[in-house]
Structure 1
Amino acid sequence: MTRKDRWLIWLFLAPTLLLLSVLMYYPMIGTVWESFFQTSFINPEPKFAGWAIYEKVLASRDFPEIVRNSIIWTLGVVLLQNVLGFLVALVLNQGLPAQGLLRAIVLLPWVLPGVVAAILWRFMYDPQLGLINSVLIRLGLIEDNAAWLADSSTAMAAVILAAVWKGFPFSTLIYLAALQSVDREQIEAATIDGAGPLRRLFDVTLPAVRDVIMVNVVLTMILTFNYFDMVWVLTRGGPQNATHIFPTRIFETGFGQFRFGEAATYGVFSILVLAVLVALYVIIQRASANRRRTA
Structure 2
Amino acid sequence: MTRKDRWLLWIFLAPSLGLIGLFLYWPMVGTVIESFYATSFISPNPEFVGFDGYREVFSDRDFDDVFWNSIAWTLGVVVFQNMLGFLAAMLLNQGLPFRGVTRALVLMPFVLPGVVTAILWRFMYDPQLGLVNSLMIRTGLASETSAWLANPDTAMAAVIFVAVWKGFPFSMLIYLAALQTVDRSQLEAATLDGAGPLRRLWDVTLPAIRHVILVNVVLTLILTFNYFDIVWVMTRGGPQQATHIFPTKIYETGFGQFRFGEAATYGVVSILVLAVLVALYVIVQAGANRRGRRT
Aligned partners of 1:275, 1:100: CA distance in 2, in Å? Answer: 38
Name the amino acid aligned to 2:292.
R
**Cα deviation code 1:27-82 (max 9, x no counterpart):** 11011011112123432442222212111101101111111000000000000000
- Structure 2 residue 274 is the aligned partner of structure 1 residue 274: yes
Report what 1:287 is aligned to. 287
The within-5 A match list for 1:221-260 is 221-260=221-260
Which residue is 1:132 aligned to?
A: 132
Alignment partner, residue 17 of structure 2: 17
Task: Letter of the 1:27 partner, please give it.
Answer: P
Q: Deviations over 1:100-134 (max 9, x none)?
A: 10010010000000000000110010000111101
1:179 and 2:179 aligned: yes
2:84 and 2:16 map into 1 onto residues whose CA distance is 36
Question: What letter is aligned with 2:202?
Answer: F
2:147 maps to amino acid = A
Aligned to 1:110: 110
The 1:159/1:44 distance shift into structure 2, 3 A limit, reads farther
Give the CA deviation at 1:248.
0.3
Supply the distance in 2 between the matched residues of 1:174 and 1:47 (Cα, whole angstroms). 49
**Which residue does the alignment assign to 1:96?**
96
Shift of 1:259: 0.3
Equivalent-residue separation in structure 2 for 1:257 and 1:249 (angstroms): 10
CA shift, 1:12, in A, is 2.1
Q: Is 1:206 aligned to residue 196 of structure 2?
A: no
Residue in 1 aligned with 2:55?
A: 55
Instruction: List alignment gaps of at least 5 residues for structure 1.
Output: none
CA distance in 1, matches of 2:88, 2:11: 45
SS in 2 for 1:33: helix
CA offset digits 1:210-231 (Å, max 9, x no partner): 0000000000000000000000
Aligned-residue offset at 1:22: 1.5
- Does residue 197 of the first structure (1) align with residue 225 of the second (2)? no
SS of equivalent residue, structure 1 residue 50: coil
C-alpha distance in structure 2 between counterparts of 1:86 and 1:155, whole Å:
26
Cα distance in 2, alignment partners of residues 134 and 200 from structure 1:
41
Q: Which residue number corresponds to residue 86 of structure 1?
A: 86
Q: CA RMSD in A?
A: 1.0
SS at match of 1:254: helix
Which amino acid is 2:286 matched to?
A: R
- Supply the distance in 1 between the matched residues of 2:191 and 2:44 (Cα, whole angstroms): 70
- Could you tell me how far apart the structure 1 residues matched to 2:264 and 2:48 are? 13
Aligned to 2:107, the other structure's residue is in SS state helix
Instruction: State the distance in 2 between where 1:45 and 1:150 align.
Output: 39
- In structure 1, the partner of 2:65 is 65
- 1:30 paired with 2:35, answer no
Larger mean CA deviation between 38-47 and 175-184 belongs to 38-47
Quote how far apart the aligned CAs of 1:138 are: 1.1
1-structure distance, mates of 2:162, 2:206: 27
The farther-off stretch of 146-155 and 10-19 is 10-19
- Equivalent residue letter for 2:154: T
TM-score (norm 1): 0.98
TM-score (norm 2): 0.98
Could you give the per-residue CA deviations for residues 243-269 of structure 1, whole angstroms, max 9, x where no partner exists? 000000000000000000000100000
Q: Which moved more, 1:6-15 or 1:161-170?
A: 6-15
Q: C-alpha separation between the residues in 1 aligned to 2:280 and 2:289?
A: 14
Q: Distance in 1 between matches of 2:2 and 2:213?
A: 40
Determine helix, strand or coil for the equivalent of 1:148: coil
Find the aligned partners of 1:255 and 1:69 in 2 and give their Cα distance.
21
Unaligned residue ranges in structure 2 (runs of 5+): none
Distance 1:139 1:199 in 2: 36
| Structure 2 letter corresponding to 1:203 | D
Mean Cα deviation higher: 217-226 or 9-18: 9-18
Report the CA distance between 1:10 and its aligned residue: 1.0
Distance 2:93 2:286 in 1: 28
The reply to whether residue 150 of structure 1 matches residue 150 of structure 2 is yes
CA separation of 1:169 and 1:260: change in aligned 2, threshold 3 A:
same
